[in-house]
Chains A and B, each alone.
Chain A
């Protein structure tokens, strides 16, 4: 079945540091890939997505590229801010008519000033 393996946290970085959160997946067919962010006490918000190979999703300075050859969708940001502190989830949705999302375990990110 579908699965998502995500870099375990927690991750603590200083402000303005470079961020990478690794995500790899296993899926049949050609899934869509997502990164969701969960701020403290809130639900999940879509951060970015990519629907086909080599697509790059980007939002709020975050980027992730859909790499079919390595089955990866790593999240990156060049200069993190304190406000980026949250839990980040990598997820996929199979395109075989199954609408449900399969999530990774989440990575808690803390940015210190």
Chain B
């Protein structure tokens, strides 16, 4: 079946540094990838939608300069949290979709900014 690999699963970084999270579709080409953020005891908040070869579409209230999304190929999308601050600490999950099929989620990345 469709598998999405998300890496790293956990990362701790210092305040002010940048962190890159990768999301790969291992056995299919993902026409669209989604990035979500999950707050404690709350639902998943969609941050942005990315299509291969084009700029990501960000949801209202999400800073595009802070959360850089690159969808360089049909199997790879990256989320870079720039100049991270403690309030950026969260669980980030990617999801990939291929045309005509459902959504496959990565296993998530726990980001802790200290």
Contacts and interface: CB of A to CB of B under 8 A. Distances in A.
B93 A99 contact: no
Interface residues of B, number: 19
Contacts of A106: 41-43
Interface string A34-72: 001000011111100100000000000000000000000
B43 A101 contact: no
Given A43-B6, A46-B102, A101 B107 contact: no
Given A42-B108, A99-B97, A105 B6 contact: no
Contacts of A41: 107
A101 B103 contact: yes
Q: Is the interface of B mostly helix, strand, loop or mixed?
A: strand
B103 A104 contact: no
B95 interface: yes
Interface string A99-111: 1111111100000
B56 to A, nearest CB: 12
